[in-house]
Chain A
Amino acid sequence: MAFSQPGSLVRFWLWASVGVVAIFGTFTYAGAFVWPLLGAGIGLLAARSFSRMSALAASVAGLAGPALAVALSSPWPLVAAIPVALALALVRSRREAAMLAGALGLACLVLLALRSAEVMAAVIFAPVLLVLGALAVGRPQREAAGAITGAGLAFFAVGAPEPGIPLTLAGAVLMVALGLRRRRLAMTGA
């Protein structure tokens, strides 16, 4: 059974909540505990379609990661649960499985290279690369710009308007601009 796709604006705000959670996961002390659930959320939003079972499996993986991390008192289940949750939510074919593995490998290599240059850049780019990889595997969509807006709103909420205002506006402008482009393409029949 497949869920009906929510409308564009709903998807935008769902992506915005992904952005808020990503900022929480990146900059707070206990943030790593939300990584697996963040992976499940990104995977489900980027997926072309998903069944009730795959949504459930991804959510279980998202919750099992932190539970295992606490039980084993090791951070590694949190890291391992990210590809598990993403794959459960996103992958429908062998091609997508290979693409996800490739995208995650590439993202890890980029983060490794960034880390040797500047640790902060790697920290900030980790969720960005995760979203881009998921979009490449699943359905690329302009609504994902909502994550930028969500990140901006999160900065705004914790009292950092300098990055907050530009990010909030950038996400909204990107969403509108991509929508205009799509409408123009539809009008010209391209």
Chain B
Amino acid sequence: MPVDLLAILAVVLIALAVGLWRTRHERAAARAARAEQD
């Protein structure tokens, strides 16, 4: 049972970490595009 809960926690944390990293990446790209426009 603790192994299952650990697996769930790992899946959730991986999704959150990759998602937030992806968000940062997207925002940096958007900021660069905006800076280029200005």
Tally of contacts, chain A with chain B, CB under 8 A: 67
| Known contacts A79-B7, A80-B11, A94 near B20 by CB under 8 Å | yes
| Known contacts A93-B23, A94-B23, A87 near B8 by CB under 8 Å | no
Q: B10 within 8 Å of A by Cβ?
A: yes
Q: Would you list which residues of chain B between 1 and 38 have a CB under 8 Å from chain A?
A: 4, 7-8, 10-16, 18-20, 22-23, 26
Chain A residues contacting B20 (CB-CB under 8 Å) are: 94, 97
Chain A residues contacting B26 (CB-CB under 8 Å) are: 92-93
**Contact present for A104 and B19 (CB under 8 Å):** no
Which of B8, B12, B15, B16 has the most A CB atoms < 10 Å from its CB?
B15
Give bound CA distance, A183 to B4, whole Å: 45
Give bound CA distance, A109 to B26, whole Å: 30
**Contact present for A87 and B15 (CB under 8 Å):** yes
**Contact present for B11 and A91 (CB under 8 Å):** no
Chain B residues contacting A104 (CB-CB under 8 Å) are: 11-12, 15
Chain A residues contacting B16 (CB-CB under 8 Å) are: 97-98, 100-101
B20 to chain A, nearest CB (A): 5
Q: For this complex, into which size category does the number of interface residues on chain A fall?
A: 20 to 34
**Contact present for B10 and A105 (CB under 8 Å):** no
Q: A86 within 8 Å of B by Cβ?
A: yes
Q: A108 within 8 Å of B by Cβ?
A: yes
Q: A121 within 8 Å of B by Cβ?
A: no
Q: A17 within 8 Å of B by Cβ?
A: no
B24 to chain A, nearest CB (A): 9
Chain B residues contacting A97 (CB-CB under 8 Å) are: 15-16, 19-20, 22-23
A98 to chain B, nearest CB (A): 7
Q: Would you list which residues of chain A between 92 and 145 have a CB under 8 Å from chain B?
A: 92-94, 96-98, 100-102, 104-105, 108-109, 112
What is B's interface to A at a CB cutoff of 8 Å? 4, 7-8, 10-16, 18-20, 22-23, 26
List 12 extra interface pairs beyond A80-B14, A97-B19, A102-B12, CB under 8 A.
A79-B11, A80-B10, A83-B12, A84-B18, A87-B15, A88-B18, A92-B23, A93-B23, A94-B20, A97-B20, A104-B12, A105-B8
